[in-house]
Amino acid sequence: MLSLIIVIMILGMVSTTSTAMKNEITTMVGWYERSNIGDNMLDLIMKTPGSPDNWETNPSSMVQLGLENPDYPDTIDYNKIEALNEAYQNNDEALKEALSNLSLGKDFSLGFFLTRIEIEGDVTVVPPTTEGSVDVPSGGHLSITPVRGYAYGRGIYAEWIDPERVDLEGVGNIPNVINISAGETFVFKLIEGGSVRVDVPGGGSPGGPVNYEIPTGVTVHIEVETGYLLIGWAKLDNGTYELWIPYHRQGQQVRTTWEGTVWWGQQGGVSSSDLVIKYIYATEVVHADYNITLINGEFVNDPDEIKASMDRSPWVTYSERRVPMSKMIYSSQYTVTPSDLPKEMYVGTLTTTVPDYMSFKIEFSDPGYVVLVAWLRGTNVSGYSVLAAYRTEEDPTMKAIINQTINGNNVVHYYSSPSPDYIVIPWNDFLTTVKQGESLDIYVWVYKMKDVNVMQFIDLNGINTLMKPQVSLAVLRLSVWDDS
C-alpha cells in the first residue's frame, strides 16, 4: 500500500514537472519567435526580389514582398520602394495579403529612411531684353566696328566673351583667333561707353552696307548658321577684352563667308543666390521618407492609432538594417507643371563619355522661363549646372543660358533656337564631359517655372543607355507587435 502511494506521488511529481517544463518550453519558443520575427521579415525583404521578381511593374500581382534588385544583387531597388509606397497609398489588397503572410499575421510598422539630395537657395533669371536683330544673308560680309574713329587695328572693348578659346594664332597685337563655325554662337558684353555698329549688305541692294547701331553695355550674340567667322581677341591687364570682328591682319580684313544672325539687348543671365546642394545620408534623416503600417490586416496612417495599438500589445520588437540601395530615375519624356516642383527627373551614374550628338529638348509656349539644376559628382568632378530656358514678349524665339560651376571654375554658355516653341541643348554642355574610364553621378531637377504653365522635357537620344543605377545608403526600421 505504501509502495502504491509512493508510486502515485512520483507520477504526480513527474506530471507536474512535465507540465511546467512544457510551459517553459512554450514560453521560450514564443519568445524566440517574437524576438526573431522582425529579423526574419527584413531578411525576406532585403535578400529576395519578391514574387514575381518584377512585381513593381504591377503591384497588384504581388504574391511575396521583396525589394532586392535582381540586376544588382545585395542592393534594394529604389523603384520597388516607390512602387510599394504607391500600392500602400492605393490600399492594394494584394499587398495587404502579402504583408500579412510576411508578418505571420502580426502587426508591424516599417519605415524607410533614404539618402537624398536637397537644394536650398534661389535661382534668379534675367532674360535679356532684345533691342535689335539682323540676319546676315548667304555669302554675307559682316563688320562690327566702333561707332567713332574706326580703323583696322583698333578693337572693340568687351567686359567678357564666350567662348574664350584659341583656335588659331594671331599676328601683331591680336594674339588669339577663334573660329566660330556652323552651329556655334559667340557672345560678348560691351563695356559701358563702348557702343558699336554692325555693317551688313543691304538686303540685295548693290549699294553700301546697312548700318545698325548697338548701344553701350549690351550683350551681343553672333550666331553662325553656315560657314565660319574668324574673331580675333586679346585679354587686357584689367580683365576686359579687345575684339576684332572679323579678324584682320596687317591692315587687311580676313574675309569669311557665312550666314547667321546678330542680336543684342540688355544684359541678362542666370545666377544662383546662396545655392546649396546637400547630400544627406540616410542615418541623418529624422522622419521616414515612407512608412508602411499594418494593424489587424488593415493599413493605418494615424500616428495616435498606431501608438495605441502598440500600447495594447504585451510585447513589441524592434529591428533595423542598413543596406545599399540602387537608384536610377529615367524617362524619355516628362510633362512638368509648377505644382510638381522641384521635379526630380534623372538620377544615375554615367559610366562612359557622352557623345556630342546626344541632346535634350525643352518645350513650352508661354513667355517666361524654366530653370533646371544638375548636381554633378564624379571621379575628378564636383559642381553643378543651372540652366534657364526663356522666351520674352519682345522676341518670342526661345533662348537658353547655362551657368556652370565645376571644381570652382565658372563657365557660361548661350544658346538660341530657330523655333519659338523649343530649344535643343547638348547633354555634354549641361552635365560636363565624362572622361573615358571615369564615372559621373548626376541628379537633374526642374527647379523653377516662371509664367510657364506646362513644359515638356524630351531626351532625344537615350542617355539611359550610358547610365547605371547609383548606390547609396538606406536604413530600414521595423517594429512588430501583437494587438490581436
- The grid coordinates of residue 198 equal 554692325
Q: Which amino acid is at 478?
A: L
96 in Cβ contact with 88 (< 8 Å): no
pLDDT tops 80 at residue 449: yes
Strands 252-253 and 176-181: unpaired
pLDDT of 132: 62
pLDDT tops 60 at residue 409: yes
pLDDT tops 60 at residue 288: yes
- Tens digit of pLDDT for each residue in 301-315? 999 999 999 999 999
pLDDT of 283: 92
**Among 12-16, 311-315, 447-451, the least confident range:** 12-16
Tell me if the pTM is above 0.85: no
Per-residue pLDDT band at 416 (split at 50, 70, 90)? confident
pLDDT of 29: 46
pLDDT of 396: 72
pLDDT of 45: 96
pLDDT of 31: 47
Burial of 44 (0-12, 13-18, 19+ CB in 10 A): middle
Give the integer Cα–Cα distance in Å for 400 and 457: 14
- CA torsion sign for 347, 162, 197, 195 is positive
Higher pLDDT, 355 or 204: 355
pLDDT of 184: 86
- In sequence order, the β-bridge partners of residue 196 are 146, 214
**Bond before 163 cis per omega within 30 degrees:** yes
pLDDT of 12: 57
pLDDT tops 80 at residue 459: yes
Residue matched to cell numbers 524576438: 35
pLDDT tops 80 at residue 32: no
pLDDT of 87: 97
Per-residue pLDDT band at 408 (split at 50, 70, 90)? confident
**234-239-245 Cα angle (round to 5):** 35
Per-residue pLDDT band at 413 (split at 50, 70, 90)? confident
- Tens digit of pLDDT for each residue in 255-285? 777 788 787 765 556 655 556 788 899 999 9
Higher pLDDT, 415 or 288: 288
38 in Cβ contact with 319 (< 8 Å): yes
pLDDT tops 80 at residue 401: yes
